[in-house]
Amino acid sequence: MTAGAAVPTSEELPSGTEVVVIGGGVIGVACAHALAEAGLPTVLVEAGELGSGASGACEGNVLVSDKPSGPEFELARRSVELFSDLEERLEADVQREEKGSLLVAPSADAAELLAVEAAWMEEAGLRVERLDSAAVMEAEPVLDPENEGALFVADDLQVCPMRLVLALAASARRLGARLVRDCRIEAIEVESGRVVAVTTSRGRIACSSAVVAAGVGTRRLLESVGVEMPLTGRRGQILVSAPTSGLIRHKVYDFGYRATVRNLDDDAVQVAAVIECTRRGNVLIGSSREFRETSAEPDLAVDAALARQALELAPGLAGLKILRSYAGIRPTLPDGMPAIGACGSVGGLFVASGHEGAGIGLAPATAELIAAAISGDGAPVSPEPFDPGRFGAGGASGAEREAA
């Protein structure tokens, strides 16, 4: 299947099902796939086209190396495990490549911090190798020879995000899920404290559960049933080069990128270099972060900042021909972690959103948690840290707090 292949969706609106998944980004299609695999009658409803939100405007990093030690790291590690046989399970090529990442220290201070990170990563069982400056240049000749070394983390992967979205959708459909596009969910109907249906722009679907995986649209849908979640949009931008003959071999990122991801209190535009090469040889140069939900149009000043940062890290990219840039909006929660699980205050209401810059990588493990929450089965990763109620209202713990 190619990224431009026809989207496998159903045009008919079913009148009823067990679970409605709201949103056809990577998180929604992964949830629909996992629910269909678990044998639950499922309908996915997407307002536009599959992948028309952040999932179609991102990079394909599947990283464990950028997560802090803790629950998100465990979720990322479980996802990497699930990615290992995903292509066989989906019967599709999602361009999975076990490239590993090079976390480059541009300064002596960064090198010291990197050594601390290397220690816990090794302890956690990741395949980590310390490279000195000469070894870094051998691995990636376009990088700055003045670098202070790097960490190579072999566990990090790359996939093609749109291929992943379409392959999950196609497989979900083969397993019996119905996919409806160009159809907006306008309301979630709740009766006696339980989800009973969703109202769409094309009619009503009766259901006993709804999974809100609507990216930055999640907050509004939850608000409509009285659940508040402080989810905002964090805009990001990427430069795309003309095809090269594999100018960058690994995933390469400035060690400072990790701090940018976690710097959730800064309103200014933040840029840190993260560079990868697609299978066709296009170099993708990311990425920026700014709290803005309104514009997915690329911005020239951000393009310039991305180019500057990339050249500081990799001066050998100076001759690169940039073809275009694109932007997307990351759904983001104040602690930087996704919300995955039941909204305890409304029976049958589930959320899978807020994955910030890691939704592609975290999709398989997120879907596993959602399928486990709805079917009542256990999951290999503890769902508690991702409880949608952790911000004070609406999730399982939120409801408990209210009752206390």
Ligand X SMILES: Cc1cc2nc3c(=O)[nH]c(=O)nc-3n(C[C@H](O)[C@H](O)[C@H](O)COP(=O)(O)OP(=O)(O)OC[C@H]3O[C@@H](n4cnc5c(N)ncnc54)[C@H](O)[C@@H]3O)c2cc1C
Binding site for ligand X (CB under 6 A): 22-28, 45-48, 52-55, 57-61, 184-185, 213-215, 217, 221, 236-238, 286-287, 328, 330-331, 353, 355-361
Looking at the Cβ atoms of 42 and 133, the one nearer to ligand X is: 42
Looking at the Cβ atoms of 118 and 183, the one nearer to ligand X is: 183
Q: How far is the CB of 273 from ligand X (least distance, A)?
A: 13
- Could you give the CA distance from residue 210 to residue 230 in angstroms, rounded to a whole number? 20
Q: Which residues pair with 22 in a beta bridge?
A: 45, 212
Q: How far is the CB of 314 from ligand X (least distance, A)?
A: 17
Closest alpha carbon to 384 in 341, 343, 333, 331: 341
Q: How far is the CB of 293 from ligand X (least distance, A)?
A: 11
Q: How far is the CB of 58 from ligand X (least distance, A)?
A: 3
Tokens of 308: 């500057």
Looking at the Cβ atoms of 54 and 114, the one nearer to ligand X is: 54
- Could you give the CA distance from residue 359 to residue 191 in angstroms, rounded to a whole number? 32
Q: How far is the CB of 33 from ligand X (least distance, A)?
A: 13
Looking at the Cβ atoms of 71 and 137, the one nearer to ligand X is: 71
Going through 207-301 in order, the beta strands assigned E by DSSP cover 209-212, 232-243, 251-254, 270-277, 282-289
Looking at the Cβ atoms of 130 and 204, the one nearer to ligand X is: 204
- Could you give the CA distance from residue 352 to residue 366 in angstroms, rounded to a whole number? 7
Q: How far is the CB of 119 from ligand X (least distance, A)?
A: 25
**What stretches of 103-216 show up as alpha helix (H) in DSSP?**
108-123, 133-139, 161-174
**What stretches of 215-299 show up as alpha helix (H) in DSSP?**
218-223, 256-262
Other Cβ atoms less than 10 A from the Cβ of 71: the count is: 17
Q: What is the DSSP letter of 390?
A: G
Looking at the Cβ atoms of 42 and 353, the one nearer to ligand X is: 353
